[in-house]
């Protein structure tokens, strides 16, 4: 273990993605003065209030946790100042830090972002990288400013996106990469060995929050685009179509055939014994392997075929 007792860190983070970075700071011997996370909120069918993943991790290692509704309150900022942070680390926290908070620590505020900035700024960079069929993404550490992922860049590391990987799988890989790059960044930055690089003047792109319209499958699009959408929205929130007026999520599929077919996009072309069914798209077709009917659990596509009496010629998509 490397000991850094004199460097006091306040950690801001909320979801699972931030947990490896929190543990990495703790295991590297830095003094974690506090963890700031979003308020606990109801989740699941029972709407039970659950701790955020970062809160669970912080409690596990015995770090004080604060959950302000907003971090702009003067009383909360006064509390942060009393903790005398040398560095603030932010990983998927969910709120933009105000200027007064950014000015508290002598080493500034470092953010871990799940893209190769300035590409895919915003809330859902992992989802959109997969949905858009990118072959690579990565992690960028940066100094925070009052903009949305616009601060000066410190370090970056590229991560390949295999053509079959889902957003969930890529998320886990990037979370681990981010934790390692964070520790490397802190060490180099505190020792004056990093030169920040401005994003100003560089071409940027945005990864907005996902909406229901992004989840609905448009069967007129090419098969590859639909395939990327399905894996890009897996395991959450899921890509869906309509079957007999009810929502049907398609949770796993594969590219099937590129041959031209005259059938209407969304049409079931073939039932694959024990392997699901094939759907025509605007260009090519996909084989559906797993689905989730509305209100049901995920099931193999061939079980859906048998249980819901799916036949060749049915056209998905009409609500």
Q: Read off φ and ψ for residue 227, nearest 5 degrees.
A: -60, -45
* Token pair recorded at residue 74: 């003067």
What gap in Å lies between CA 50 and CA 27, rounded to an integer?
A: 26
- Residue 264 has a CB neighbour count (10 Å cut-off) of 13
* Token pair recorded at residue 211: 């909406």
What's the chain's length in residues? Answer: 319
Supply the Cα-derived Rg of the chain in whole angstroms. 23
Is the distance from CB of 228 to CB of 133 less than 8 angstroms?
A: yes
Q: Are strands 4-13 and 87-91 parallel, antiparallel or unpaired?
A: parallel
- Burial environment of residue 99 by CB neighbours within 10 A (0 to 12, 13 to 18, 19 or more): exposed
- pTM metric for this prediction: 0.94
> On the CB side of 116, how many CA atoms lie within 13 Å of its CA?
12
The helix or strand, by DSSP H or E, that contains position 47, with its residue range, turns out to be none
Residue 15's SS3 state is coil
18 DSSP assignment: G
Provide the residue-wise pLDDT of the chain in tens; the chain has 319 residues.
444 447 999 999 999 999 999 999 999 999 999 999 999 988 766 778 899 999 999 999 999 999 999 999 999 999 999 999 999 999 999 999 999 999 999 999 999 999 999 999 999 999 999 999 999 999 999 999 999 999 999 999 999 999 999 999 999 999 999 999 999 999 999 999 999 999 999 999 999 999 999 999 999 999 999 999 999 999 999 999 999 999 999 999 999 987 777 899 999 999 998 889 999 999 999 999 999 999 999 999 999 999 999 999 999 986 6
Domains of the chain (ranges; CATH) run 4-190 (3.40.50.170), 212-308 (3.10.25.10)
């Amino acid at each position: 273990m490397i000991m850094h007792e004199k460097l006091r860190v306040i950690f801001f983070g909320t979801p699972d993605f931030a947990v490896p970075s929190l543990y990495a700071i703790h295991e590297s011997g830095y003094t974690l003065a506090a963890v700031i996370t979003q308020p606990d909120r109801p989740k699941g069918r029972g709407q039970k209030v659950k701790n955020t993943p970062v809160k669970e991790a912080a409690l596990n290692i015995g770090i004080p946790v604060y959950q302000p509704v907003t971090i702009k309150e003067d009383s909360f900022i006064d509390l942060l100042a009393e903790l005398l942070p040398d560095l603030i680390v932010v990983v998927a926290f969910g709120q933009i830090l105000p200027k007064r908070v950014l000015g508290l620590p002598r080493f500034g505020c470092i953010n871990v972002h799940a893209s190769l900035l300035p590409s895919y700024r915003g809330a859902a960079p992992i989802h959109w990288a997969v949905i858009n069929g990118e072959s690579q993404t990565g992690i960028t550490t940066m100094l925070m400013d009052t903009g949305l992922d616009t601060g000066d860049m410190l370090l970056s590391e590229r991560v390949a996106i295999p053509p079959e990987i889902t957003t969930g799988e890529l998320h886990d890989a990037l979370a681990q990469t981010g934790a390692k790059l964070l520790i490397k960044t802190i060490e180099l930055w505190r020792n004056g060995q990093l030169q920040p690089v401005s994003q100003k003047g560089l071409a940027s792109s945005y990864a907005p929050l996902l909406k229901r319209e992004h989840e609905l499958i448009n069967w007129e699009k090419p098969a590859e685009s639909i395939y990327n959408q399905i894996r890009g929205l897996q395991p959450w929130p899921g890509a869906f179509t309509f079957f007999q007026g009810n929502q049907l999520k398609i949770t796993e599929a594969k590219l099937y055939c590129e041959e031209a077919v005259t059938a209407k996009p969304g049409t079931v072309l073939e039932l694959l014994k024990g392997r699901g069914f094939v759907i025509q798209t605007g260009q090519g077709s996909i084989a559906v392997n797993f689905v989730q009917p509305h209100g049901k659990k995920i099931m193999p596509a061939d079980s859906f075929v048998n249980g819901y009496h799916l036949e060749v010629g049915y056209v998905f998509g009409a609500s």
